[in-house]
Amino acid sequence: MLIAAFGGWNDACQAATDAVRHLTSRYPSREVRTIDGDGFYDYQATRPIVCYATGRRRIVWPQTTVYDVELPQGRHLYALIAPEPNYRWPAYCAQVLRIADELDVRRIVTLGAMFADCPHTRPLPLDVEDGSAEAVTDPDQRYSGPVGIPTILDAAAVDEGFATSSIWASIPQYLEGDDCAAATLRLLDAIGDVAGVPIDAGDLPGRAGAWREAADVLASTDEALAAYVKRLEREYDAHEKARREASLGGHACRQLVMEAEAFLHSLETGHDADGDGRGPVGGVGTTHDGTV
Number of structural domains in the chain:
2
| 156, 107, 65, 179: CA torsion to nearest 10 | 100
Structural domain includes residue 100: yes
Does 241 fall in a domain?
no
Handedness of CA 137, 239, 170, 200 (dihedral sign): negative
135 with 11, same domain: the answer is yes
Question: Does any domain span residue 160?
Answer: yes
Are residues 31 and 134 located together in one domain of the fold? yes
In the listed set 167, 199, 218, which residue is the last one of a domain according to the structure?
218
For the entire predicted model, the pTM comes to 0.79
Per-residue pLDDT of the chain (292 residues; tens, 9 = 90+): 999 999 999 999 999 999 999 999 999 999 999 999 999 999 999 999 998 878 889 898 999 999 999 998 888 999 999 999 999 999 999 999 999 999 999 999 999 999 999 999 999 999 999 875 444 445 555 667 889 999 999 999 999 999 999 999 999 999 988 799 999 999 999 999 999 899 999 999 999 999 999 999 999 999 999 999 999 999 999 888 887 777 666 566 566 666 666 666 665 565 544 444 444 333 333 333 444 3
User: Which residue range is the domain that position 103 belongs to?
Assistant: 2-218
Same domain assignment for residues 172 and 111: yes
